[in-house]
């Protein structure tokens, strides 16, 4: 057996790298837009606040939040890959959005 046979495979890069600057813009945007989307003032929210359980978002208000984010941040979000994990918390939504923007057409 040669040394090359023992070599470990090189790690593969992440499928959707997250731009930290965009992620911060998205987090700020979510914090700014949530009171308007929900129609009520909110206390300071931790990034791990659950969108549905803690904040009471519905599927309709989640869609509104995403559309408002696109408009306010002037980005386009590829929502075809969104899933329950991406909608779990403020932080997970920010990660998803920052990793799934597409060029404006």
- Kindly state whether residue 82 falls inside one of the protein's structural domains: yes
Q: Quick one: average pLDDT of 74-94?
A: 94
Helices (H), the chain: 20-38, 59-73, 90-99
- Kindly state whether residue 5 falls inside one of the protein's structural domains: no
Which DSSP symbol is given to 55?
T
pLDDT digits (tens, 9 = 90+) for 30-76: 999 999 999 999 988 899 999 999 999 999 999 999 999 999 999 99
What gap in Å lies between CA 15 and CA 12, rounded to an integer? Answer: 8
- Kindly state whether residue 94 falls inside one of the protein's structural domains: yes
- Kindly state whether residue 83 falls inside one of the protein's structural domains: yes
Question: Is the confidence at residue 6, as pLDDT, over 90?
Answer: no
Q: Quick one: average pLDDT of 12-26?
A: 74
- Kindly state whether residue 81 falls inside one of the protein's structural domains: yes
- Kindly state whether residue 7 falls inside one of the protein's structural domains: no
The SS3 of residue 89 is strand
What gap in Å lies between CA 30 and CA 37, rounded to an integer? Answer: 10
**CB atoms inside a 10 Å sphere around CB 39:** 7
- Kindly state whether residue 12 falls inside one of the protein's structural domains: no
The boundaries of the domain holding residue 53 are: 18-37+49-102
The SS3 of residue 40 is coil
- Number of domains within the chain: 1
The SS3 of residue 21 is helix
CATH number at residue 71: 1.10.1200.10
Residue with tokens 């979510």: 30
């Amino acid at each position: 057996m040669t040394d090359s046979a023992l070599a470990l495979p090189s790690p593969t890069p992440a499928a959707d790298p997250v731009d930290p600057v965009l992620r911060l813009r998205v987090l700020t945007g979510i914090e700014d837009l949530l009171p308007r989307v929900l129609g009520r003032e909110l206390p300071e929210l931790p990034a791990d606040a659950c969108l549905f359980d803690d904040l009471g978002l519905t599927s309709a208000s989640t869609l509104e939040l995403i559309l408002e984010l696109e408009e306010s941040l002037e980005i386009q979000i590829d929502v075809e890959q969104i899933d329950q994990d991406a909608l779990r918390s403020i932080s997970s939504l920010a990660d998803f959005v920052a990793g799934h923007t597409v060029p404006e057409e």
